[in-house]
Amino acid sequence: MATPAGPKKRRRRAPREPGGLFAYFDAPEARLADAPTVQWRQTIRRRIIVVVAFLTLWTVGIETRLVNLQVWQHDFLKGYANKQRDRMRDVLGRRGDILDRGGNILATSSQGHTVYVSAGEIDKPKEFAKKLCDALNGCDNTPNLIERFRKGIFTYVERKTVSEEEVAAVKALDPPLPGVGFEREPLRQYPNGRLLAHVLGWVGTDNIGIEGVEATYDGIVRGQDGQTLDMVDVRGRVFNWQLERPSTPGITLELTIDSHLQYIAERELRVAVNEHKADGGTVIILESSTGDVLALANEPTFDLNKKKLAPEKGHRRNRATQDTYEPGSIFKLVPIAAALEQEVVQLDDQFDVSAGSISRDNWGGHKIDDYTRYDGSLSVMDIVVKSSNVGAVQIAEHLGPDILYEYAKRFGFGQRVSTETFGFIPGEGDDGPEKWTVPTEFPGESVGLLHPPKDWKPVNIASFSIGYYLSATPLQLATAVNAIANGGVLVRPRLVRATRQNGDRVELLPHSTQRAVTPTTAMMLTNIMEEVVKRGTGRNAAIPGYTVAGKTGTARKYIGGAYSATEHRASFIGFVPSRDPVFTILVLVDSPGVATDTGGAVAAPVFKRIAEIALRDSGVSPTTEPVSRIFARRRGDSLPGVPTTPLPAPAYAPVAAVDSESLRMPDLSGMGLRRATRTLTQLGLFVKVQGDGVVFAQRPSAGSAIERGEEGVLQGTRQMRAVESSESHP
């Protein structure tokens, strides 16, 4: 039988031996005597524990951070490191050239020096900037440079405009400035300075076109930019670079502009503006049959090569396409065209203008006066020839708003005269040609103002008939009158006629056309305009030997809510020769200094001077009062070079067949001077023309070796036969 368990006895620990590790603490007297020492040891133990825990946590944190950086953020940090070391930089492509119709360069690109600073923070940015700018003969914005140097930002100091001497001066600095680098970038240059400034526009430092043709065709002229990879050290200094993608040049444009005519237009316009103390002016020359813009001049103008363009925005504005104005009496051709086309009037119909003014009860007290009062009646033709406002109003009242508005639209008013232009860039491989398109050749072109018929009041019909209550650009007006020169067909003006790339020339399609009036109406208007020049307000535009058709205009300016009695625009437009037009020319002078300076007194003489030079230099034969074909000479005298028999057909080599390596002067005998001039221009010669008609002498002689840039002289004459005479009649 089991014995019940009794209470459990605690086993007693054997007493410690004196001494040992804990002997000191076991001694009661020790604990009482050395209590501070015991606390110190406990403090040390706690601190050791804290330090060990901290080191453990720090080690775990470091390992966690390393895993995060090396594993989870590996790709990001690698890219960031490359970004700090590697810097991609664009290499600007060379812009294509811009040429005139003869192949003369109007805009081209060369290599200009650029200075940049690629360094970390600079200790003394002010001193750094001073040394650098002194070597560069000054900087544009020194405070901005100093701030960028202080922040260590990559900075272009001067782009494309640094000379070789300035580059050498920077390199010669002792000690050398850290982080300063040099590169060559395309620099746009305009060999003719001011010539054609408003048409060409200009290019910014980033190689992007601004205004004009440079902006309109920027997409194909600029080309493709390349890229380089710069490798920099910790201070941002480039120590190596490599080309990632090469740049490709842009397409070359061939304009319709004739540089010689452009120069003449600008020169004569400048003379007229200065002579009459005017605010400005515009001249436009169109090739009548095609609508090609041969010259477009504005005054004031500016120099495209200046480092800083004209500060006055008005100098950079293309007045020919952006400014609108009320055309005045020139516009009378439109309601007269409508009246003749609709057979509302005939040329010999008479209208009473003897009152010298006209008013109606529903005009609200308005009255329209004639500049000169005429006695009795004037025919429809004489109303235009003498520019009678009273007669023009009476004719317009037979038409009404709807018909007047319709014919204004037919002649291109109230709309852009430029249309969409497109072409193709040859592609490589299977890509095929790439199509390019520009919506308009004249950026910023204004459509003018043409009120719809529903908004017209009775007095507006009268205002409209004499060129008010609407506004138009000079280019619109030139295009409208050119429709009369073309037998009633309105041809949209064109500025670019071909593109060139890799030796290939691609002709652009001509712009669209629309019929404004019938050929019969156009001929009647031509007859009227001829009389304007013969015996009307445009007599100062008459050119001996040629029939000229034209119309004057003197339009008062609307200032401060009323028409000014002193401020006006004087204009003249015409085409010549009138029966087979070659040139259509508009001259506009804005605010001549004298109130009596009318279109006939101010603008018509400018037209005459420009047209005379254009006809002569183009070899257009006179159409009236031909010089006698009989040429008299003393017996025994010789006439070298003057043909005594009918001139032979020209025997010259087509330009495309001429060997460019060994150019030879073609035989131009018997060729019209205009065609001969074009032939030599295409060969790269500077042509000097003497006389008119057809070529009978030339220098260099046919077959001679020639070089581009030489001067060629053409002597012209009408086909003549030499007749001997007695010595008594020299």
C-alpha 502: how far from its chain's center?
Answer: 24
Per annotation, catalytic residue among 329, 418, 463, 465: 329
Residues 527, 258, 677, 584: what is their CA dihedral angle, to the nearest 10 degrees?
0
Q: Tokens 């500049």 appear where?
A: 371
Other C-beta atoms lying within 10 Å of the C-beta of residue 120: 15
User: For residue 406, what are the CA distances in angstroms to 342, 384, 401, 422?
Assistant: 12, 21, 8, 29
Tokens of 332: 């009378």
Name the β-bridge partners of 449.
471
For residue 298, give the 3-state DSSP assignment.
strand
Residue with tokens 């034209």, as numbered in its chain: 550
**In sequence order, what DSSP letters do the residues of 459-510 get, joined into one string?**
HHHHHHHTT-SEEB-HHHHHHHHHHHHTTTEEE--BSEEEEEETTEEEEPPP
Contact 444, 318 (CB under 8 A): yes
Contact between 670 and 641 under an 8 Å Cβ cutoff? The reply is no
Strand 368-369 relative to strand 377-379, pairing: unpaired
Distance CA 157, CA 726 (A): 81
Cis peptide, bond prior to residue 700, ω within 30 of zero? yes
Q: How far, in Å, CA of 636 to CA of 538, rounded? A: 48
- Among residues 171, 181, 121, the alpha carbon closest in space to that of 151 is found at 121
Backbone CA torsion sign across 192, 198, 200, 204: positive
Per-residue tokens: 364: 């609200």
Instruction: Give yes or no: 329 in active site.
Output: yes
User: Residue 561 region, left (φ>0) first, then alpha (ψ -120 to 50), else beta?
Assistant: left
Instruction: Give the chain's end-to-end CA distance (angstroms, integer).
Output: 183
The residue behind tokens 């004489």 is: 382
The residues annotated with a catalytic role in the active site are: 329
